[in-house]
């Protein structure tokens, strides 16, 4: 049984961050028991570690407004301290021994705050400062995740402006409302050639993620600017230097999102699945990419001893 005080606390958080959600006491108790609503910091931690270590793109919703912005979590490694006075080697050695080794994402273990990159489009960062509530949304293979938080302040990490948010106070697990997209790992040799109007448009674009029905492609800024919605593109997909598919597609969205170094210009396309054969080929490519991504996550999880969600 969920204690009355916990029930009341979670009801208040739901009303604050997700006012459109409506649960009876029995439904809410059941969702809490199933782990579909989390408020304990330690239970929310694996989702934040996944978002950071897997560099997931986060949808950001401010004050329940329809406009969506995009960001990623940023690490907050301690900055080496340099002293004006030269220390003895003995003192340096003692400090190194006392100082634990920092691993990516260790600041999250403090359960105090999270760091996000500036929002895109850029107006979002300005609106964030004036916001009351912030929803961070990410997607895994099995479900969607929504986290409620608030803005704290603007900070700088290595001269990069970043956004400090409060540690999420509530997390909801939702059924996946979109088709699963397999993230393309950095180490996978996956290249896309793009043709438009019968001419080579971009020689070696990097795919971001892919599903049976479409994919997101990272493009150079000048190429990105030349595209518009509903443009028809012909794609050649290469994996390990092998041509795996030729397929027509339609531009469905154009966006940009901050990376830890620079900005990523994204083009989302929808495939033209005209035959069962090409559909089967795309499903095979998605499966290959998914296996590569899972292997990458398993390696991170084994090295760090933490649970990474696919």
Span 45-67, pLDDT tens digits: 999 999 999 989 999 999 999 89
Beta strands in 125-186 (DSSP E): 134-139, 143-149, 151-157, 160-166, 170-175, 182-183
Residue 84's pLDDT band, with cuts at 50, 70 and 90, is very low
Higher pLDDT, 144 or 168: 168
Task: Report d(CA 41, CA 245) in Å as an integer.
Answer: 45
Cis peptide upstream of residue 121 (ω within 30 degrees of 0): yes
Q: Which CATH superfamily is domain 4-79+104-175 in?
A: Electron Transport, Fmn-binding Protein; Chain A (2.30.110.10)
Q: Cite the residue boundaries of each domain of the chain with CATH code 2.30.110.10.
A: 4-79+104-175
Residue 243's pLDDT band, with cuts at 50, 70 and 90, is very high
Select from 146, 144, 119, 148 the least CA-distant residue to 133: 148
Task: Report d(CA 43, CA 253) in Å as an integer.
Answer: 34
Structure tokens at 269: 């396309």
Rg, the chain, Cα only: 22
Q: Cite the residue boundaries of each domain of the chain with CATH code 2.40.10.220.
A: 182-304
Q: Residue 200 forms beta bridges with which residues?
A: 195
pLDDT at 83: 43
φ and ψ at residue 125, rounded to 5 degrees: -65, -35
With vertex at residue 205, the alpha carbon angle to CA 201 and CA 208, rounded to the nearest 5 degrees, is 135
> Does 87 score more than 70 pLDDT?
no
Which CATH class name applies to 182-304?
Answer: mainly beta
Q: Are 94 and 137 in contact (CB under 8 A)?
A: no
Percent of the chain's residues with pLDDT above 90: 55
pLDDT at 92: 54
Span 145-199, pLDDT tens digits: 999 999 999 998 888 889 999 999 999 998 766 677 889 988 899 999 999 887 7
Q: Are 239 and 189 in contact (CB under 8 A)?
A: yes
> Dihedral of the CA atoms 280, 189, 58, 143 (nearest 10)?
40
> Does 93 score more than 80 pLDDT?
no
Structure tokens at 11: 């009801």
């Amino acid at each position: 049984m969920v204690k009355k005080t916990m029930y009341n606390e979670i009801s208040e958080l739901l009303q604050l961050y997700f006012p459109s959600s409506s649960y009876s006491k029995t439904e809410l108790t059941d969702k809490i028991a199933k782990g579909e609503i989390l408020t304990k910091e330690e239970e929310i931690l694996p989702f934040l570690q996944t978002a950071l270590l897997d560099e997931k793109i986060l949808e950001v919703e401010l004050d329940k407004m329809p406009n969506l912005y995009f960001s990623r979590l940023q690490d907050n490694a301690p900055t080496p301290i340099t002293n004006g006075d030269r220390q003895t080697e003995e003192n340096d050695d003692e400090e190194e021994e006392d100082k634990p080794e920092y691993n990516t994402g260790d600041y999250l273990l403090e359960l105090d705050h999270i760091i996000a990159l500036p929002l895109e489009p850029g107006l979002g960062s300005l609106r964030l400062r004036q916001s009351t509530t912030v929803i961070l949304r990410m997607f895994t293979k099995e479900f969607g995740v929504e986290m409620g938080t608030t803005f704290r302040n603007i900070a700088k990490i290595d001269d990069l402006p970043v956004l400090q948010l409060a540690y999420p106070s509530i997390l909801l697990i939702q059924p996946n409302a979109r088709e699963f997209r397999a993230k393309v790992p950095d180490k996978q040799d996956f290249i896309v050639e793009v043709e438009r109007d019968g001419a080579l448009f971009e020689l070696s674009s990097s795919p971001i993620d892919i599903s049976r029905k479409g994919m997101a492609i990272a493009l150079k800024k000048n190429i990105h600017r030349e595209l518009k919605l509903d443009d028809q593109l012909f794609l050649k997909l290469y994996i390990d230097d092998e041509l795996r598919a030729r397929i027509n597609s339609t531009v469905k969205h154009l966006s940009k999102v901050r990376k830890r170094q620079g900005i990523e210009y994204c083009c989302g396309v929808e495939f033209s699945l005209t035959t069962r054969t090409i559909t089967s080929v795309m499903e095979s490519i998605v499966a290959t990419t998914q296996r590569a991504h899972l292997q990458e996550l398993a390696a991170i999880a084994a090295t760090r001893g933490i649970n990474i969600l696919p």
